[in-house]
Structure formats: structure tokens, C-alpha cells
Amino acid sequence: MAGPEQQLDAPNPPQPIESQDTTKPVAAPPRAGIVGLAADVKELKKHFDLFTQLKQELLTEDDYYYIKTKDGMEKAIGKSGWYKFGVAFNITTIIVHQTKEWLDQAKGLYFYKTKVQGIAPNGRIAEDIGICDNTENDRKGESEHVVSAMSITRAKERVYITLLGAPEKGESEPIEKCTCPEDIKSKLPAQKGKCPNCNRSRA
């Protein structure tokens, strides 16, 4: 079980990490009737078409990562891709609060929990939480600031998804993996994405 919550910053005394901006969402006054559309159908379609176009033209292979599923590999937008959308749609993000909590202090096992608020130019506000712990397979041995930063990244990505009404993952698709011999691979630049020799995925 998780131990007591530890507020972050200087070790003596522990202090919370909070943004200076304490702006909170203001609820709109209730109105009678059913929930209506924020814009007409053509305008909404234009927005989602623009998102699809940006996804195709703005993102590169390096902005994606692949998830293994029972149906094969699934392509998902990564940190750099969501940050590009944040810039493109002028979304402001604020770290509202971050804490460190112990899973097992004696064993040095902990997790970071971060709440992030996002504000769109039209005034829409979204808040979400990102969590990362140092027991995750790809986080073992990582320094504490990396675990902290990952919790921030996850919270921001969820805020972007909410404000843009975007799908978190792409469609499942068969991935042709690089099958180049090791002697050729060793001479190629170390980079994510497609192999420059065979144009297949290095995922």
C-alpha cells in the first residue's frame, strides 16, 4: 500500500510544487434544455479534418511510438507529437500540483502524481493527472527527475487529448520490422523511426 503523501521541493521542510497561477475553472450558469453543440456540424467537421491533416503533415515517424497488442502493433502519438499540437492550437498548460508518494520507502519505491491544467484560446479548460513510478519496467534505475518529468508529460498529453477531442491511439496496423544484417545496422545512424536502409520500422 502507498505510504503517506510527501509534498515536494526542498527536503527540509518538504514543500508542495505548485504553479503561481491559481486560476480555477468557473462553472457556467445552468440553462434549461438539452446539451447543445458548441458549433455547427460543418465547423466541427472542419476542426477534426484539420486535426487529421496536421497529424499527416506535421508529425514525423519520430513523433510516434508503438504498442504491442493482441492484434499486432498499434501506433500512438508520443510526447513530441502532442507538444506540436499544443503549439499549433495555442494551448497553455500549467502545473497545478505535484506530489511524491511512497510505495515502499524502505525499498526506495515511489511514484509521482502531477495535476496539469490546460487552457484553450476559446476559454475551454481541462485538468488531468499523470502518474509515473520507479517500478515500471522502463523506469527502473532512472533518476528521480526523469520519473517526475514523465508524470508531467502524461498529464499534459491527457489535457491535449481532452481539449482537442483527439483519439489517444492510432489505428492498428501491421508493422514491417527492419531485417537488415547486424553488420549493416552497426553502420547506420542510431535513430528512432524507419531504417534508412530498408525503410522498415525499427520499433
- Give the tens place of pLDDT for each residue, 17-39: 444 444 555 555 666 567 677 77
Contact 128, 115 (CB under 8 A): yes
Q: What is the mean pLDDT of the chain?
A: 77
Q: Which domains does the chain have, with CATH numbers?
A: 5-19+59-175 (3.30.390.80)
Q: What is the mean pLDDT of residues 155-171?
A: 81
In whole angstroms, give the CA distance from residue 142 to residue 65. Answer: 20
pLDDT digits (tens, 9 = 90+) for 123-139: 999 999 999 998 887 66
pLDDT the model gives residue 135? 86
pLDDT for 21 equals 46
Residue 124, Cβ neighbours under 10 Å: how many? Answer: 13
Residues with Cβ within 8 Å of 24's Cβ and at least 6 positions away in sequence, in order, are none
